[in-house]
Amino acid sequence: MESKKHVCPSAPLYEGSRLLGIVNENNEVSILTEPMEIDDVFIASASKGKLPEQKFRFTNKCVKSGCKQWTGEQCGVIKRVLENIEQSTIKNELPECNIRSECRWFDQEGISACKVCTSIKYINYIS
């Protein structure tokens, strides 16, 4: 049985979420040096206009089977991205990241996940 606690690097905004990155003008995610604790003021401000998850990336605990993306054994998001991403968008260098040691995607797919991480925006897939 898995004992390591993982965090999701692309969680929806809900209680306990921390700000991991900001979607920049190139439509890529600029990862913060350290995930930022957020409060109700941030949530209210971020919720104006587009969905917060379209402007920001959040991290929160991986809820496994409590998530639509869970395949029963692993996160389906990073698997689909790695299978479908255009090779030209894969980075050679790893972005700075303070959640790597507990990241679900890194634990599951290794550095391949890190090389595409900044290209991934949150998508609420319908199961």
pLDDT in tens, 40-75: 999 999 999 988 999 999 999 999 999 999 999 999
- Residue type at position 91: K
Q: What is the pLDDT of residues 73-114, one digit of tens each?
A: 999 999 999 999 888 778 888 888 999 999 999 999 999 999
pLDDT of residue 82: 93
Q: Calculate what percentage of the chain has a pLDDT beyond 90.
A: 69
Written as one string, the DSSP assignment of 18-71 is EEEEEE-TTS-EEEEEEEEE--HHHHHHHTSSS-HHHHEEEEEE--GGGSTTB-
Query: Residue 116 — very low, low, confident or very high, per pLDDT cuts 50/70/90?
Result: very high
Query: Residue 4 — very low, low, confident or very high, per pLDDT cuts 50/70/90?
Result: confident
pLDDT of residue 90: 81
pLDDT of residue 124: 56
Residues 17-54: b if buried by 16+ CB within 10 A, e if exposed: bbbbbebeeeebbebbeebeebeeebeeebeeeeebbe
Q: Is the pLDDT of residue 34 over 80?
A: yes
Instruction: Provide CB contacts within 8 A for 19, sequence distance 6+.
Output: 32, 35, 36, 38, 42, 56, 57, 58
Q: For the whole model, what pTM was predicted? A: 0.88
Per the CB < 8 A criterion, the answer to whether 31 and 20 are in contact is: yes
